[in-house]
Structure 1
């Protein structure tokens, strides 16, 4: 089995585990009285991410690997874990608002308003570039930017209406 296949298998397993965690957290939040905002754009996000990963599975095996970029990707995974650990049960792949709950301002949120989105932007570029697939990095960076523009607007509106005063 090639190193590229191992890397892609690990990334795929991670993403599937995150979807399971997000689904569990979403159900728990909704049971506590939360509501979803911007559900209409969620299928676009899923599609962009699934196509990104599928394109890597199709094109990356057999390509040379830039190990320093894989190292950078691993650092991004640590940052992703920091976000998940900070948000705990409030982390989900959807925009779920629990009225009356204060915004999370600790961990990476002290430094960046949307740290997970910053990490995803970097991941979508870095992993394809680690396989010299600059075209994949470019196309999915543009597609991701488009869906994130919609997503962040929806999230900001939702959080603005449900924020507690600091």
Structure 2
């Protein structure tokens, strides 16, 4: 791995730690407002997906000599666009943004920014990152393994749990009826 690749990994790792810090700060604020956490049992699995991403990238690049493909710029551009979308998601939700499912009973779903168009745009960002970051580095095995694990968790566990909670605790169906994912 060259300096650029290490720099990219360091950037994403620091970004994740920053997001965890922000999520914890937002969680304290939301819990003070009466928020309830849903899906606590699957949260460690989501963290594991992201840890596996970095472990896989390092092992595949250092241990197996994975190299960026000649077309690495394509996933890089998509990755940069995903970062812009991530910031848009976080800013749109403000203090309600979190890596956990936290709901204040009766709260209004936020329907601004990308949430005007999609129910879960932040998950789309994560999917794009988990595909593009390994592709940029030529870590194809990591991309497949992490993406499959992530898809199973998102579509089989996380999104259904979040959708159930929003329907049960808020006016979600009234505010988000035509939005996908």
Which TM-score applies when normalising by structure 2? 0.86
Please list, as runs of the form range in 1=range in 2, the aligned pairs for 1:1-166 lying within 5 A after superposition.
2-60=3-61, 63-64=67-68, 66-148=72-154, 149-164=156-171, 165-166=174-175
Unaligned runs of 5+ in 2: 176-181
Q: Distance in 2 between matches of 1:60 and 1:22?
A: 30
25-34 or 60-69: bigger deviation: 60-69
Q: Quick check: 1:39–1:94 contact (8 Å CA) kept in 2? A: yes
Q: Quick check: 2:68–2:135 contact (8 Å CA) kept in 1? A: no
SS at match of 2:102: strand
Q: Quick check: 1:124–1:137 contact (8 Å CA) kept in 2? A: yes
Unaligned runs of 5+ in 1: none
Q: Quick check: 1:8–1:57 contact (8 Å CA) kept in 2? A: no
Aligned length: 166
Q: Quick check: 2:105–2:169 contact (8 Å CA) kept in 1? A: yes
For each residue in 1:77-104, what CA deviation from the matched residue of structure 2 results, as whole angstroms up to 9, or x when unmatched?
A: 0000000000000011100011121011
Q: Distance in 1 between matches of 2:152 and 2:27?
A: 24
